Amino acid sequence: MAETIHVEVVYALAQRQEVASLELPVGSTVGQAIEASGLRAKFPEIDPAKNKLGIYAKLAKADTPLRDRDRVEIYRPLIADPKEVRKQRAAEGKVMKKGGGEAE
């Protein structure tokens, strides 16, 4: 009997997350786990070539070999660039401070 590993593949949506628990042969990769999970059929927007992938929040490539009990995560693209959001907040904060009254 061939040895197997147990892994989870997770795809988080805005309101919920989809989790697929799998049993795969030893030596399986992140990409193979995603294919075996069935999540790509359910969510056609998932593309391992475009979406960032990870194992327990650490970035990984599709050809990364998995270990028993790994959690493969498929990340959605960011809606806004965090650096731009910070710049906008900082600019708004400066405008608000200038609008304050004179100190006496």
Give domain status of residue 66, yes or no: yes
The total of structural domains in the chain comes to 1
| pLDDT value at residue 95 | 55
What's the average pLDDT block by block, 10 residues per block, for the chain (104 residues)? 88 91 96 95 88 95 96 86 79 61 52
| pLDDT value at residue 92 | 79
| pLDDT value at residue 82 | 73
Give domain status of residue 77, yes or no: yes
Q: Which domain holds residue 83?
A: 4-98
CATH of the domain at 73: 3.10.20.30
Cβ neighbours around 66 below 10 Å, total: 23
Distance CA 43, CA 74 (A): 11
